[in-house]
Amino acid sequence: MIQVLNSQTINLQYQTKRKNQIGSKGSYALCQALSSCTNLVTFMLLLGWNQIGEEGSTYLGVALANCKKLQSLYVDIRSNQIGYSGASIFFSALKNCANLSTLQIWFQNNEIKQTEEKLLKHKLMKIKQLVQYYK
C-alpha cells in the first residue's frame, strides 16, 4: 500500500490489522509516504492496537500537517501507548489542515489522563473550520 502513494493521491484508506504491532518504525514508514500526498482530501487511517507510541503519533501529526487540502479525516489510534505529549503534537498539527471540516477520531485507551484529555479537546475546539468532531 505504501508504495502506491504519491502526490496525485486524493482519497486514501490505510488499514492494518489490529494488534499487528507496527510500532513507531512502521508508523514512520507510513508517514514518510503520507508526506508526499499533498493533494489528499479524504483520509481514513485505522491503526488501533499497534503500539505506535508517542513517537508514532508525532510522526502522524507532522505528516498530516503537510496535507493542506485535507477535508475529512477518520483516525483510529486506540490503544497505542500514546501519552499527552504525542497526542498534543498530533492535534496541534491538525491546525495546518486549513480545509479540515470533518474529524472522526478514536483515541481511547492510550496513556492520557482525564485532565489531559480535556486539554486535548480544547485544542480541537480551536480549529475554527472544524464543523464535525466525533470521538
- Domains of the chain, start order: 2-134 (3.80.10.10)
Parallel/antiparallel/unpaired status of strands 72-76 and 102-106: parallel
pLDDT tens, N- to C-terminus, the chain (135 residues)? 444 455 566 777 666 666 788 999 999 998 988 888 888 899 888 899 999 999 999 999 999 999 999 999 999 999 999 999 999 999 999 888 989 988 888 989 999 998 898 898 888 877 766 765 555
Segments in the chain forming alpha helices (H) = 23-34, 53-65, 84-93, 114-125
CB 129 within 8 A of CB 100: yes
Distance (Å, whole) CA 85 – CA 83:
6
pTM score of the predicted model: 0.83
Q: Which pLDDT belongs to residue 131? A: 60
C-alpha count within 13 angstroms, C-beta hemisphere, residue 109: 11
